[in-house]
Structure formats: C-alpha cells, structure tokens
A and B are shown apart, each in its own frame.
Chain A
Amino acid sequence: MPFEPAYLYTILPELVVLITACCVLVLDLFLREDQKSVNHGLTVIGLLIALGCVGLIGDGHVSLAFSDSFIRDPMSDLLKGAVLLVTLLCFLYSTNYLRDRAMWVGEYHVLMLLALLGIMIMISANDFLTMYLGLETLALCLYALVAFNRDSKMGSEAAMKYFVLGALGSGMLLYGISMLYGATGGLGFAAIADVVSAEGIENKVLVFGLVFVIIGIAFKFGAVPFHMWLPDVYQGAPTPVVLFLSSAPKVAAFAMAVRILIDGLAGLHADWGDILLILSVLSMGIGNLVAIAQSNIKRMLAYSTISHVGFIFLGLLAGTQQGYAAAMFYAVVYALMAAGAFGVLVMISHKGFEAEDLDDLKGLGDRDPWLAAMMALVMFSMAGVPPMVGFMAKLLVLQAVIDIGLVWLAVVAVAFSIIGAFYYLRVVKMIYFDRSEIAVAVVVTGSARFAVTLNGLAVLFLGMFPAALLSLCEAAFA
C-alpha cells in the first residue's frame, strides 16, 4: 500500500513529539549553561501542542495508517491524552530537582520525549512489529534514564538489573510472537484474530505462544512473579525518572495488553483469563503484603504499583466490555495517582537531600500544608477511600468480576485492599501526626505547585464526577 499524506494527519501527535525531541537535541548544542531552561520551555510547549493535536484528531472513529500497522481509535486518543498529560506533569514537577542535580540538560528531555514517543507508538500499534518497535524505543530510553545520575551506584545497579531483565522479558515476548506468527501466518492483530476465531484453542502452538506473550506483558506491567526488577529500579533511579516510570509506561503496558489480548487473541480468552487471574491474585497479595515492610517510600510505592496492577488485571480478565472499560479507567487514574505521589516526593527533595524514606515525610503538614493535603488525597485515593477516584476505579473492577460470577475473587481483592489501606494510612500519619525533624522549608516553583494542585484536585474531582471519563473508556470498547 503506498504512502498517503493523510497518514501524517493520523500520526500528528507522534510527529509533534518527535519533532520536539529533535529540536531539543539540536538546540541543546547551541545553548549556554544558563540558557538550558529553553529546553524545558520547548518541551512543555511541544507537549501542549501534541495534547492539542490529540484533541484535534480525536473524532471517535477508527483510522488506520501504514499498511494497517498503525491504528488510531478512541482508546488510543484517550490513552495518548493521559500519557501526554502525565508526562507534562512530570516535567513541571521536576524542574527544581533537575536544576539542583546537574540533570538540567538537553539529553534528559530528549530521552523522556523519545520514551513518550515509544509509549505512543505502543498505544497505537496494530501489529506485533510496531508494538515491539514502540516497546524497545521506550525500554532503551528508560534504561538510560534510570542510570541518568552517573555518579549514583544504586542508579547504575538498577539500570543494569532493569536492562538484563528487560532484555529477558523482550526475548520472551519475541519468542511468543514468533510462535504466534508460526501458528497464524500473520503479525497484524486483526489477521491473528481471524485465524484464532477460526481455529480456536485446538492449536497448541498458539496457546504456547500466548503464554510467552503474556509473560512479556506481565513483565512490562511488573506483575508477580515478574516483578523483581520493579522495587530495585524504583529505589535506584532518580525520583523524577521514577515519577515517569511509574505512571506513563503502565498506561502503555495496558494498551499493549488490550491490543494483543483483546484485539488479537480475544478468541483465547478462556486461556489467558485464567493466567491473568493467577497473576492478579499474586500481585495483589505479594504487592500489598510486602509493601507493609518497606521503610523506603519509593520501594513501598513500587510494591503498591504491583498491587494496583493486580486490580487492573481484574478488569481485563473479566473479558467483558465493562471489564475492559473498568481496567482502562483504573490504568488512567492510576497513572494520575502515581504521578501525584512521586511528584510530591520530587518536590520535597532539595539540594543534597533525597526524600526517600517514609520518615522524610514527617511533619509535611506543618512544612507545606498544601502539598501535604495533595499527598493525603492521593494516598486515600490509592487506598480506595471515597470520595477519591481510587474508590471509583476499584468499584468498577469489582463490579466487572462480580458480573462474571467471581464473587470470591472480589472478596479476595477487597481483603487485600484492607491490608493496603494500612501502609497508605501510615504515610498520612507521617504527614499529619508526626512532627518534623528537618526544619528546611519546601521550595516549590509556581508551575509545580499549579501542577500538583491540578493533579490532586483531579483525583478528587474524578472521584466525585467519574461519568465523563468513564463514558470515554466505555466508548473505547463499544
């Protein structure tokens, strides 16, 4: 199929991100040390334009490009909007942090933008090759970002672990893809779906390949038992990178799961539903239980991520449209919550001091009441307490699993969420009930304060008025 100019319209947001990355890359060469803020400004403008483009081209219809290897549909529009917003928040949160630590350089911005590009490609991938391309773009940028602080031993170790395990995960995925290709003779998700619905699970190779593909997905999500990299990476990487890592790539992993499992292999739901069920219960259990034992808040939030992944899987495994919409809702709001939590951590770190331990949050309610309130909102939201959006997300996935008759699974899920409530409450306790041992005031830029306000109030607002976002999620699977 020949190239058509209309394709450029379909990939407009990706183009904007790519052009921004290239501009920053080139411009950075000509900037003096004291002019590096131009990179930041350019990046923020680029992201805003890309966000505008997503809104502009989102018309509720599906359009395909590049021999059907690229798809733009309501789901991709919403997810791209979410990752662009979250990435924007990441940049706004971390200006002071980066300035204080010699990370205020062009490369950081370029790597972040390229990682974002990878995420957007994954979201819109319509065949396995495009998916893999996006995945590797994302992963390579993340490996470099995790090790961005070159003087940090922890950072290098984390990057090495991430790289080795990430390569293993990608290898598993590729192995699975090759089997699926062998069994179906196609790489496009639509083509695979046709073959699967015709042949069903009779084909052993197909199911065998499916298992490896799911391992790849579970690795990217960080679901138990493929979660080992996650706490180490979260702990070792610079906090702004973790801020990004914990939010946007989870949305990408969700898109990957939807494209592969639902668009491509929906006919094998009977097989992958059970696999996801096991992954889900293990993730909720291990994630919540181990998080209690953590004293490092980044590690704690890593295990909390793992438990939330379990909840996202609950929606996916239901195999109903309502379940998929619930999982999508959960993934998007989780990205928002994670951005808020790590954003606050980034902001209360200052020159020569990393907010890493739970104790570092002590007395935040006195040091900066507004930041403290936003952090508390996010923590209650993660615990699933109304009126925060975390409750709505949990309600939706629980409803999905009860709908298919798995009441016991819903009971297991809520039981683990009680355990989870404990360590989120502990953070609130540190913020409000304990007195600070550090007297340093928190210095926050105006834009970061604006961003965290937006983020925190969004968590509250979406919880009270979830209908709009929910209907967008439902439209994606209608």
Chain B
Amino acid sequence: MLADFPWLTLVIWLPIVGGIAVIASGDKSSELSKWIALAVSVLAFVVSLPLWFDFDPVSAGMQFVERVQWVPSLKIEYYLGVDGISMPLILLTTFITIFVVIAGWEVISYRPSYYMGAFLIMEGIMVGVFSALDAILFYFFWEAMLIPMFIIIGVWGGPNRVYATIKFFLYTFFGSVFMLVALIYLYFQAHSFSILDFHEVPLALHAQILIFLAFLIAFAVKVPMFPVHTWLPDAHVEAPTGGSVILAAIMLKIGGYGFLRFSLPITPDASAQLDGLIIALSLIAVIYIGFVALVQQDMKKLIAYSSIAHMGFVTLGFFIVFSIVRHTGVSTGAAMGIQGGMVQMISHGFISGALFLCVGVLYDRMHSRQISDYGGVVNTMPWFGGFAVFFAMANAGLPGTSGFVGEFMVILASFRADFWYAFLAATTLVLAAAFTLWMVKRVIFGPVGNDKVAKLQDLNGREVLNLGALAAVVLALGIWPKPLVDVMAPTVERLVAQVQVSKLPEAPAPLASLQP
C-alpha cells in the first residue's frame, strides 16, 4: 500500500511548489519565507524517507515506479522509478538541502526568499534527474537544473560571478546538447524513450562509440573530469555557500550517475573499447589535480580541486570493471569498483558539503577565502576547529570516516585490474592528506594570524547543528557502511552482468573474448 503511493512525484514536486510559494511569500515577510523554506525542505526529506524504508533491498529492478503518458505521439512518458543506485542519491539530495537552507538563514540579506525558493526548486529538479526513467524526462530535469543554479551564482555570487555563471551554464549546456542528439538517435533504434528499453537495444560498434562520446561529453563536464573541469573552480569560488554545497554535494554526482545509468548499460562495447581513456583521465584527475589543489591560495578553490580529484576516483571505480574482466577473465571484484565509486559519491557529498559550509562559516565572519588571511583560528573558535579538522581528515580518507570506505574499495578493485592503476590511484591518500592537512595547518593551527582572527566568534547553535549533523553521518557511514553497500548491491551486480553482455547486433559474444 505504502509502495503504491506516488512518493517520487511527491518528492519532486513538493519542493518545487514549495519553492514557488516561498518566492511568493517573500514580498510580505522574509522571516516568514525562511520558515516556510525550512518547513518545506524538512518535509521533503521526510517524504523521501519511505524510499529508503520501503525499498526492497534484494531486488535489482526499478521500484516505486510511476508511469503515465506525457506526450503520447512521441512516446514520451512521465516515467519514474528508483533502484539501488538512484535511491541513496535522492536521500542525499533531500538531506543536504535542509542544511543549505539553514546555512543561508542569516547570511543572505538580498532577497532571501528568492534564494531559498531557488534552492528548493533546484532540489525538486535534482530528485527528478535521479528518478527519471524516460530519456526526455531525464533531459528535461537535467537541463532545467541549470536555470536556478545560473541565477543563484549570478545573483548571490562573488565579485566575478557573471563570468563564472555564464561559463558554468555554457559548459554544461555544451555538454548536454550532444547527449540530446544521442538520445533521439536511440529513440529511433528502440522506438521508445524509456531508458530501460535503451539498455536492451542492440547497437553497432561505431554507433555505440559515437553515443558513448556524446554521453561522455555530457557527463564528463558535469562530473567534472579533466580536461573539462575548469568551470568548477570558477563556479565554486563565486557561488554563495549554499550554491557551492549543492554543486559539490549533488550536481557533480549527477554526472557520475549518468555514467551508471546511460554510458555503461547502453554502450557496453564502446565502454569496453574506450575504458582506457576514462581510466587515464581519471588518474590524471586524481594525481594532476591533486597537485593543483596543493598550490591553491583560496580555500574554496582548494576544495573545488579536491572535489575533482575525488570524482576521478568515482569514474575510475566505474570503468575499472572492463579491465578486471580482461585481466582476470572473471568479474569477481568488479562490483566492488562500482560500489566503491557509489560510496565515494555519497560520502563526498557529505564531506565536501561540510567543507564548503566550514569555509562559509569563516567567510561570513571575515569576508575572505584566502588562506593567508587566517591562521590560528582554533584559538578563538575551538568548536569550529574541531569540526574543520574532522572533515579535513575525512576528506583525506582517514579510516573510520566515510571518505575511507569508497577510496579503499576502489583501490582494492583496481588491484585486481592492474597494479599500476592501484598504485597511481593510491597516491591520492598522500596527496589528499597533503593538500587538506596543509590547509588546516595554515588556517586552523599555529599562532593567531592577525587581529581579525583574534576577534572571531565561535560557532552559533545553527552552525553547530549543521556541521554536527553532517559529522554524525560521515562518522556513521565510515564505521558502518554496510546498509548503504547492501542496498545498492543487487543493482550493481546486475549492472556488472549487464555490461559484460555485448550489444553488437551480429555476434552476441561475451566481452572478454572480443578483446585481443
């Protein structure tokens, strides 16, 4: 009975309608609109909980399916559903949005109701992306997401916000329109826009490679992967705190989700052919971007580059499966790579979100993000210091935090494929520790840097609540990741099985034998 209720529709549209209501209420009282925004975001999280509790963890199929005609003549449907991959990401979205609303409470002075409303609309759209099973519906949400983010960065951003936001929009728009062409092409092959039908349709290798590349452009920009990552540091630096949190915690995950939902199952043969490219780009992201992060002077930029490096891990985990099959002949351990990537995505959502909130805390007080403007913050802000050090450790992948679990799984999976992949990937343990802890050392520890730092006020209750809740989740996932891993296991197992079946129309041979 509970499963028949259209929960997904509710989780998508409640924040969107609520966001419009928040914007409408803002003209009368911004205080009222803030409370409405908080209520809507909490309510959205509450109504997303049944997705977790009513989820059947042994099934690999789609659950909470809703399917109605939308544009009948084009066979476009309003087709929603979640599996073990998308469901945790939806919960991440609804959870993080609450903290975004709280974080903007006192800080946003210019039209706070518009700010909150934009984030709520954004939340609904992002949930839509994760739950859409119709390609056009997916694209609809995928592109619509750009509008609120464009406005958020452009209106509430830093001094260089216009440049950053237009760059952000055009980069992502550039990436996605080619995906649209690929989706329409697939429609004519599958005679349906259902993503699950796309998974079944046989495709010739050259078509697969072109489709794969179209998807790659779209998702690589979003993730972002080297070399199309340059919009991210700009967008992060200029975005308001809430914008950075949403960008890092959720929007980047949409790229990773796209690889799992589209690239791997729709074009398995092309993925097997081109996995070397993805692995190379991922390792470049891990190592090169890790070094780039090391030299940043701006805290937000540093965390932005660290996000790129961590997302490199995610893509590495997703595409290591082919290498494992080639190397060992069996797919044992391949699921671990994908699971590790997923865990890494979820955990990075919490950790990077928390780190940006930490920077936001400092920025609200000092209006500077430069590392050199700080020093010895722990002397005046002991509580903040504690949280910041904890999240920095999590970012560096300290065992016991969620940051460790995903990285460890991906490195283990890489070992099965190739020692050197694992070796290069493992350098992140050194690099991430270096750039995060060095930042912590310069900002948090040492003698009090200057008079401004000496006058800093420690966290207020609102900020403690925010960071405390995120810290609890990071710790819980680090110590006991089993529920999260279990809930996605059947879906990932099926995906691994799926990508090993060739979709070439002529010779349905197992992938392993296709390789020289």
* Chain A residues near B (Cβ < 8 Å): 380, 385-387, 391-392, 395-396, 398-399, 402-403, 407, 410-411, 414-415, 417-418, 421-422, 425-426, 428-429, 432-433, 466-467, 470-471, 474
Question: Is B150 interfacial (CB 8 A cutoff)?
Answer: yes
Question: Is B170 interfacial (CB 8 A cutoff)?
Answer: yes
* Most-contacted residue by chain A among B141, B161, B185 (CB, 10 A): B185
Which residues of A lie under 8 Å from residue B437 when comparing CB positions?
Answer: none
11 A-B pairs within 8 Å (CB atoms) are namely A386-B140, A386-B143, A398-B184, A403-B188, A414-B181, A418-B177, A422-B166, A425-B170, A428-B151, A433-B162, A471-B72
Contact (Cβ within 8 A) A433 B178: no
Which residues of B lie under 8 Å from residue A387 when comparing CB positions?
Answer: 140, 144
User: Of A402, A411, A474, which is within 8 A of B188 by CB?
Assistant: A402
Which residues of A lie under 8 Å from residue B29 when comparing CB positions?
Answer: none
User: Of A385, A403, A407, A429, which is within 8 A of B162 by CB?
Assistant: A429
CA separation between A474 and B72, bound complex, in Å?
Answer: 12
Return the CB mask of B201-224 against A: 1 if under 8 Å, else 0: 000000000000000000000000
User: Of B141, B143, B154, which is within 8 A of A433 by CB?
Assistant: B154
By secondary structure, the B interface counts as: helix
Contact (Cβ within 8 A) B154 A429: yes
Question: Is B2 interfacial (CB 8 A cutoff)?
Answer: no
Contact (Cβ within 8 A) A418 B173: yes
| Contact A395 B136, CB 8 Å, known A386-B143, A474-B73 | yes
CA separation between A417 and B143, bound complex, in Å?
Answer: 14
| Chain A proximity of B372: nearest CB distance (Å) | 29
Question: Is B146 interfacial (CB 8 A cutoff)?
Answer: yes
* Most-contacted residue by chain A among B69, B141, B147, B170 (CB, 10 A): B147
Which residues of A lie under 8 Å from residue B73 when comparing CB positions?
Answer: 467, 470-471, 474
Contact (Cβ within 8 A) A418 B174: yes
Question: Is B295 interfacial (CB 8 A cutoff)?
Answer: no
Contact (Cβ within 8 A) A407 B181: yes
Contact (Cβ within 8 A) B166 A425: yes
CA separation between A425 and B162, bound complex, in Å?
Answer: 10
| Chain A proximity of B472: nearest CB distance (Å) | 36
- Of chain B, the residue at the smallest CB distance from A396 is B74
Question: Is B155 interfacial (CB 8 A cutoff)?
Answer: yes
Which residues of B lie under 8 Å from residue A474 when comparing CB positions?
Answer: 73
Question: Is B70 interfacial (CB 8 A cutoff)?
Answer: yes
Contact (Cβ within 8 A) A418 B170: yes
User: Of A386, A426, A433, which is within 8 A of B144 by CB?
Assistant: A386
User: Of A386, A399, A429, which is within 8 A of B139 by CB?
Assistant: A386
CA separation between A471 and B69, bound complex, in Å?
Answer: 14
Which residues of B lie under 8 Å from residue A421 when comparing CB positions?
Answer: 169-170, 173
CA separation between A380 and B151, bound complex, in Å?
Answer: 12
Having A385-B173, A386-B141, A410-B181, one finds 20 other A-B pairs with CB under 8 Å, namely A385-B143, A386-B140, A387-B140, A407-B181, A410-B184, A411-B178, A414-B180, A414-B181, A415-B177, A418-B174, A425-B150, A425-B169, A425-B170, A428-B150, A429-B165, A429-B166, A433-B161, A433-B165, A467-B69, A467-B72
User: Of B144, B154, B178, B180, which is within 8 A of A395 by CB?
Assistant: B180
- Of chain B, the residue at the smallest CB distance from A394 is B180
| Chain A proximity of B242: nearest CB distance (Å) | 17
Question: Is B187 interfacial (CB 8 A cutoff)?
Answer: yes
CA separation between A103 and B297, bound complex, in Å?
Answer: 61
Which residues of A lie under 8 Å from residue B184 when comparing CB positions?
Answer: 395, 398-399, 402, 410
Which residues of A lie under 8 Å from residue B143 when comparing CB positions?
Answer: 385-386, 391
Contact (Cβ within 8 A) B181 A385: no
Which residues of A lie under 8 Å from residue B170 when comparing CB positions?
Answer: 418, 421-422, 425
| Contact A414 B71, CB 8 Å, known A386-B139, A399-B187 | no
CA separation between A182 and B180, bound complex, in Å?
Answer: 46
CA separation between A422 and B174, bound complex, in Å?
Answer: 11
Which residues of A lie under 8 Å from residue B177 when comparing CB positions?
Answer: 414-415, 417-418
For the complex of A and B, list the 9 residue pairs with the smallest distance between their C-beta atoms, beginning with the closest. A414-B177, A386-B140, A433-B154, A467-B71, A402-B184, A386-B143, A410-B181, A386-B144, A418-B174
CA separation between A407 and B188, bound complex, in Å?
Answer: 11
Which residues of B lie under 8 Å from residue A418 when comparing CB positions?
Answer: 170, 173-174, 177
CA separation between A407 and B182, bound complex, in Å?
Answer: 9
CA separation between A193 and B161, bound complex, in Å?
Answer: 58
Interface residues of B in 121-159 (CB under 8 A from A): 136, 139-141, 143-144, 146-147, 150-151, 154-155
Interface residues of B in 344-358 (CB under 8 A from A): none
- Of chain B, the residue at the smallest CB distance from A434 is B162
Contact (Cβ within 8 A) A432 B180: no
| Chain B proximity of A274: nearest CB distance (Å) | 21
Which residues of A lie under 8 Å from residue B151 when comparing CB positions?
Answer: 428, 432
- Of chain B, the residue at the smallest CB distance from A417 is B177
| Chain B proximity of A415: nearest CB distance (Å) | 8
Which residues of B lie under 8 Å from residue A415 when comparing CB positions?
Answer: 177
- Of chain A, the residue at the smallest CB distance from B157 is A433
CA separation between A88 and B147, bound complex, in Å?
Answer: 30
Which residues of A lie under 8 Å from residue B169 when comparing CB positions?
Answer: 421, 425
* Most-contacted residue by chain B among A387, A403, A407, A433 (CB, 10 A): A433
| Chain B proximity of A404: nearest CB distance (Å) | 10
- Of chain B, the residue at the smallest CB distance from A387 is B144
Which residues of A lie under 8 Å from residue B72 when comparing CB positions?
Answer: 467, 471
Which residues of B lie under 8 Å from residue A466 when comparing CB positions?
Answer: 71
